[in-house]
Homo-oligomer: A and B are copies of this chain.
């Protein structure tokens, strides 16, 4: 198909497609004349992925390039492919969050108390991670920020957060489709779009749990029992 049809199929204007071509985000079509090229279904899929990454997920061009590079030279395993997608996401999130790299462990290599706590927390759930893992460092930064604000997260509370996240993440991973491009799209865009949704659900669930707790306080222990046990 010509570029005008590619634009029609994807809903992306021709000018934007030409920008994708110039930036190397879209491989060139097969030249059929000096100023014409033919595009195929792989181009349609690629354009949709690039648009989802740049528009819905608001990834930077650098992060989009990382995702596409992983797709064009796929790692040997599905897990590594997801890792590449997640890595592109992480870089962009850190850039947006603070515009600067997170504080790293002290120069003498001794991780600070927050990095140690984040690592201990992750390992207590059986999560394999190192103290210099980018996500562990981020978690440590967030614990430090809460402490500065005078908010205490107890070990029990953090363990409950981790259990809730395991339920969420297991479903995330189970929902990833088979094809490499579709998987990348789901991991990057799906993770980002589900973030605010999960936070909304947390607030809805807080309302319910708070109402349940209030009912328990009002009616006392002899009230008809509405089970308090943590949801499976």
Contact = CB atoms under 8 A, between A and B. Distances in A.
Contact of A142 (B78, B139, B197, B206): B197
Interface in A196-219: 196-214, 217-218
A153 B83 contact: no
Copies in the complex: 2
B196 A142 contact: yes
A206 B188 CA distance: 12
Given A79-B213, A149-B52, A214-B78, A167 B171 contact: no
Contacts of A201: 139, 161-162, 165
Given A142-B193, A149-B56, A165 B232 contact: no
Interface residues on A, range: 35 or more
Main secondary structure of the interface of A (DSSP, over half): helix
A127 B210 contact: no
Given A78-B214, A161-B198, A166-B208, 5 more contacts: A129-B204, A161-B194, A165-B205, A167-B231, A172-B209
A138 to B, nearest CB: 5
Interface string A143-171: 10110111101101100111111111111
A195 to B, nearest CB: 5
Interface of A: 48, 52, 55-56, 77-79, 82-83, 86, 89-90, 97, 122, 125-129, 135-136, 138-139, 142-143, 145-146, 148-151, 153-154, 156-157, 160-175, 185-186, 189-191, 193-214, 217-218, 228, 230-232
Contact of A163 (B127, B204, B231): B231
7 contacts: A128-B208, A139-B200, A151-B186, A162-B201, A164-B164, A164-B198, A166-B209
A39 B1 CA distance: 77
Contacts of A207: 83, 86, 127, 129, 135
